[in-house]
Amino acid sequence: LGEPAWWSGVAVILIGGVTAVLGILHALMEKDLKRLLAYSTIENIGVIFASLGLALAFKANAMPSAAALAFTAALFHVLNHSFFKSLLFFGAGAVLSATGERDMEKLGGLIHRLPVTSFVFL
């Protein structure tokens, strides 16, 4: 009876894991600051889905405490990600407004030009 739910949990874990890996690989190759942040969001969504898959697998295997912990971790990551990523996009907008540039290879030395923004961004 619990086996279909267990396999669905594994499927969600695998899809989340593949999404996370592909998202971060795309982010590593990106030169545009805002696109890097967007690919990083894809990676974080993959991590969230992997945690939801863990919650499904734990629930199917009669491990309610572990399922609740995995589900809580997923929800906490959603909340945390919404706060920090919106602030990172605000920082990227501040950099774009100050420099007119989104290409990270051309944005060296920003800590000297934008010390407060750099500190908050870090």
SS3 of residue 103 by DSSP? strand
Comparing 45 with 114, the larger pLDDT belongs to: 45
108: number of Cβ within 10 Å: 9
pLDDT of residue 5: 63
SS3 of residue 32 by DSSP? strand
pLDDT of residue 4: 63
